[in-house]
Amino acid sequence: DAGVTQSPTHLIKTRGQQVTLRCSPKSGHDTVSWYQQALGQGPQFIFQYYEEEERQRGNFPDRFSGHQFPNYSSELNVNALLLGDSALYLCASTLTGGGTPEAFFGQGTRLTVV
């Protein structure tokens, strides 16, 4: 049973560029959430996708956007990168309306903006 997989594992981008991160949820899960974890801090909720739509959103600017595909996989896009966007980006999957309520996390994508 594959867990949550994220790609790439590491990424270096230049300020002002755009980046796309990818996530495949755990088998049987239909909901994907994205989190940003800055160094030395707890994960901060960015947004959540369910049925290919954004269901909830945290306090992040519109530069952060996402997408969910029919196979439940998801992308996180960040435009006009700032130095402060450097962080570990975590994807979590859950099953809405059933199963156990804990979120399963991927290993994350380490984004460095220079």
Interacting span for another protein (CB under 8 A) from 11-19, 20-28, 35-43, 67-75? 35-43
- Residue 66 as a binder of another protein (CB under 8 A): the answer is no
Secondary structure (DSSP) of 53-87? EEEEE-S--TTEEEEE-TTS-EEEEE-S--GGG-E
Query: At a CB cut-off of 8 Å and minimum separation 6, what does 40 contact?
Result: none
- Residue 92 as a binder of another protein (CB under 8 A): the answer is yes
Least separation in angstroms between CB 27 and another protein? 17
Least separation in angstroms between CB 88 and another protein? 8
Angle at 81 between CA 104 and CA 53, to 5 degrees: 45
- Residue 33 as a binder of another protein (CB under 8 A): the answer is yes
The amino acid sitting at 112 is: T
Interacting span for another protein (CB under 8 A) from 11-19, 63-71, 74-82, 95-103? 95-103
